[in-house]
Chains A and B, each alone.
Chain A
């Protein structure tokens, strides 16, 4: 079940989208999220959807893989759609079943909201699918760098994030090991009342926390002896490299926004 979830996962590749600088991708997705809310009629929503499909095509992620991985979220989208369908009572009635009247406005709103939701989820998923977590961290650090002026600890936050990402698999392995050790001692997490199950989790969490603290202490020492003393005077091994294609992405965004402004219905 968890293996199938692709929200937040990274799949290496060498498409145009994969090769982009994380900064241009982050910037694009951030601005795109805002731009999505400008759409307000059929043509603008169609444009957004078409554009997103185009990006999926360029990133060479298989549509089936993407939709299959996003199943739980798709259910949520369909649910929102149905809610609008049933509860919006505006515009002429399209279908009149005795117990349920479906209005034109309901169908319209349902479709629009679903597209908006879908497009947002797809875009952010494409971002994480095509960018390694560490590149995202690097990109964020550089983009947020100006915030250092107002004393936001950008470097420290980025380091925290990259260390957490680095330790996720290690701690997962550890959880698995502790789980097996506790199962071998007769602990049972799969049956019993909720209260019993919660109680069974405690012997899992305690050793995990103890070892995580031990790791943190060791890691702090390892960092210190290797000369780490904060972001001051540090150089960077990972270089970000803004290229022509990254500028192109920003231009594409500007074109998209212009089109949205031009095509959106006056209100």
Chain B
């Protein structure tokens, strides 16, 4: 397996005028391998966006080492590395640069000097990947939030990145828009083997991940498979995180003395367990 990204005791502190500066990211280490889907969760201000900014070189670590595609990020390789990472932010309106869908998708291609005759097929291809090929000439204010985010993903895909970072890309969307976006990313990951790092509050998204990283006050609190993470229900709730509905229900049932077995993160698993439990009674 190829390494995509690695953090080795990375720290970052924002300069602030008042008070003691607090580390926004504190001695964080982890490695991301090709084709993985990583979810990063944590309360507001726990340093998730700062991590994303470090990965794309908007900020540089004050301590530790951060390698992207096996190279240490520095001023010389910054633009080259950025061209191989796609990132989508939270607010659908504030990252739509072009005046129409196709202009916006072409923006990164223009910036990287891709010739015109290659741009056209790439724009169409990327929009097809997010199911937006019918919207070439639409203007942003005639699109829904979910559609805008899918255009933003297409804009990132146009450069054919190896890594896609989503920084709360679905948090401003309605449930339908969120589902559209998650579905598109999930499909991309399965068909193209794209590596995805998704910073999220959404539990559905967390459950899709191969690995979850929990951030608390700038530190990495734990990491592991989603089921393993949700087994630490109390600790997660103590730092202000939600649990999936099924996990919560299964905990309540156990507290009531119903002896169901194992951890359940999806409703289906819980229903199956309840049937098994019912039949064995």
Q: Could you tell me which A residues sit within 8 Å of B by CB distance?
A: 133-134, 162-163, 165-166, 169-170, 173, 214-215, 218-219, 221-229, 233-239
Contacts and interface: CB of A to CB of B under 8 A. Distances in A.
Nearest to B95: A222
11 contacts: A166-B139, A170-B141, A218-B95, A221-B89, A226-B82, A226-B97, A227-B112, A228-B107, A234-B113, A235-B113, A235-B114
B167 to A, nearest CB: 10
Contacts of A239: 116
B98 interface: yes
B87 interface: yes
B30 interface: no
Interface string B174-201: 0000000000000000000000000000
A169 B155 CA distance: 21
Contact of B123 (A225, A233, A237): A237
Nearest to B83: A227
B133 to A, nearest CB: 16
B82 A169 contact: no
A238 B79 contact: no
Nearest to B103: A237
A165 B83 CA distance: 27
Top 10 A-B pairs, shortest CB-CB distance:
A218-B94, A237-B106, A222-B95, A227-B111, A169-B141, A226-B108, A134-B99, A166-B99, A228-B111, A215-B94
A170 B112 CA distance: 28
Contacts of B91: 215, 218
A240 to B, nearest CB: 11
B62 interface: no
A221 B103 contact: no
A217 B109 CA distance: 22
Contacts of B93: 170, 215
Contacts of A225: 56, 58, 82, 85, 87
A237 B102 contact: yes
A229 B58 contact: no
A170 B140 contact: yes
A166 B98 contact: yes
Given A233-B113, A234-B111, A236-B110, A163 B119 contact: no
A2 B115 CA distance: 42
Contacts of B69: none
A223 B115 CA distance: 19
A164 B91 CA distance: 18
B96 interface: yes
